[in-house]
Structure 1
C-alpha cells in the first residue's frame, strides 16, 4: 500500500476532496488499498488514529452496476449484525465506512467458517432492506451490451445466449446475498470474522450466492451444502445440491462476462486469460 499525505492523495484521486467538509481537520495520511478488483479504495487515518475506508464511485463501478447508495443502505440496515463495517458517510463521490482492524482471511479461511458466514448473511431479515431483488438476466445483459464488438466472438455469444436465463427451480425464500463472499472479503478480528466489500450485495436466490462462494473457495460441494443446510435447519439438502448445480454454469458465464468487461476497461491480459479459462465447460 502506498502511503501519502492527505494533500497528495487528493491530487491523485479528486473524489477524496469531497470529504474535506466531513473531516474537521485534514487526516494524518492516506493509503491506497490493494486486492480489490472492481474498486480502487483508500485507507484514511485521522490524527486521533481512527481509520476509515473510502469507496469511490467511478466509471468502473458504474460499468459493473455497483451503487454506493445501495451499498450504504444495506450496511445501514444490517448495522447491528456485528460482522459488517459500519457506514459512516455517503456523498455523490463515494462511500466512507469504518476500517476493520485485523488479518485478511484470503489464505486461511476454512470451509466451515465460510459456510457459517454465508448462513449469517442469509439469515438476516430483508423486510426493511430498501433494495430491489437481483435480476440475473438484466445483470448479464448489462455486461454483454457494454462489450466492444471485437470481444463478442461467436463462442462467447453462444455461451452467453445459452445461459442468460436463470434456471427453472422450485422457489426458495430470497435472502440478502453478498455475491462475493470468500476469504479475500473477510477479516479476522479480535471480535471474530468480519465481512467486507458489500458492493455486489442485494436480495437474491441464496443458492446462487452459495454457488459463487463454493466455486471461488474451491471447497467440497457436498460437504459445504450439507453443512449449510444443517446450520439453516433446511430439509432436503439434495434439492439444494440440485439448485447449486443448476446455477453453476450461469454463475460461471456471469464471471466470464465480468472478466471480459474488466479486460476491456483495464486492458490487462490477465482478465482475458481468466475469461478464456472459463469457456470450455460452458458449451
Structure 2
C-alpha cells in the first residue's frame, strides 16, 4: 500500500497531462521497478509511464524512451507515443495476450530491432554498474567483493553499436490486434547486440544455445562469433541484475527484491570463486 501511495504521488504532476480528460486510472500489474497506469484519456485507453525518483538511479529517462519510440513510429511492433515530456510518456494501450509463438519469430524481431538506427544515449555495462553502485545506500560485503572483481574484469569489445531493447523477455511481447508488439522500452539504448541477446537469454526459458541458434538465422554473424561475445557479456548481465535488485529493493523497501539480489550475489560469488 505504501508503494502504491508513493507512485500515486509521483505520477500526479500538475503539467504532465494538462488539458487531457481522464475518466479512468488504474495501476497496471508488473513493472517491478517503475509501475505504470492504465488511463482512459479523451475517450481512448493509454498507458502512462511516469517519471519516478527511481529512474535517475537506474540511469533512465522517459524522454529518451519517448525519442526511441518516436523513431520507431512507422514500425507496427512498437507502441505509439501520444505524449512525451519530462514527467513521463503516454503511450497507446496495446491490448492482447502474452506472446506464445516460436523462439525463431521472437529472435527475428529482435534482429530487426538491432537493424534500426542507434539512439544517442547508450548502455555501457561498466559505466552503468558504477552509476548503480553510487546510488546504493547499503552495499553488502558480497556486493563489495563483486565490485572489486568486475573492476578488474576485461570488458568485451562490442560487435556493433545498434538499437537494443535490453528487456526483451516474453513478458514484454504482446500479441496485439495488428500483430506482435514489444512493450517496456525504458531500458532501450544504443549498445552491443550480443549484450542484448545475453540479457534476453537470461530471461528466457530456452537454453542459451537455442536463443543464439534462433538469432543467427536472421543475421550475418556466425554462431561461433556470436556465442563468444554473448558468453563474454553474460557475467556483466548478472552483475547488473544484482545491482538492480539491490537498488530497486532499497528504493521500494522490498524484501522480495532484496532477497532475490542477495541470492544472486551469493551465486556469483560462488561461480566466480571470489575470495578463495
Q: Residues 160-171 of structure 1: matches in 2 within 5 Å?
A: 160-164=147-151, 167-171=154-158
Q: Residues 24-103 of structure 1: matches in 2 within 5 Å?
A: 26-46=21-41, 48=43, 50-103=44-97
Q: For the Cα contact (< 8 Å) 1:84–1:195, is it kept in 2? A: yes
Tell me the equivalent position of 2:238: 252
Could you list the runs of 5+ residues in structure 1 that have no partner in the other structure?
A: 1-9
**Secondary structure of 2:22's match?**
coil
Note the C-alpha offset of 1:11.
7.4
Could you list the runs of 5+ residues in structure 2 that have no partner in the other structure?
A: 1-6
Task: Give the distance between the partners of 1:231 and 1:74, measured in 2 at CA.
Answer: 22
Distance 1:124 1:263, change over 3 A: same
Distance 1:77 1:119, change over 3 A: same
Q: Residues 1-283 of structure 1: matches in 2 within 5 Å?
A: 15=12, 17-23=14-20, 26-46=21-41, 48=43, 50-105=44-99, 108=100, 110-126=102-118, 129=119, 131-148=120-137, 151-164=138-151, 167-234=154-221, 236-279=222-265, 280-282=267-269, 283=272
Note the C-alpha offset of 1:103.
1.4
Task: Give the distance between the partners of 2:17 and 2:69, measured in 1 at CA.
Answer: 23
Q: Map Cα deviations across residues 181-220 of structure 1 (whole Å, 9 max, x no partner).
A: 1111111112211001100000001111100010111311
Q: For the Cα contact (< 8 Å) 2:64–2:121, is it kept in 1? A: no
Task: Give the distance between the partners of 2:234 and 2:194, measured in 1 at CA.
Answer: 10
Note the C-alpha offset of 1:27.
2.4
**Secondary structure of 1:187's match?**
strand
| Structure 1: 4+ residue segments shifted above 6 A | none
TM-score by length of 1: 0.85
Task: Give the distance between the partners of 1:249 and 1:216, measured in 2 at CA.
Answer: 14
**Secondary structure of 1:101's match?**
coil
Q: For the Cα contact (< 8 Å) 1:140–1:164, is it kept in 2? A: no
Tell me the equivalent position of 1:3: none
**Secondary structure of 2:168's match?**
coil
Matched positions, count:
263
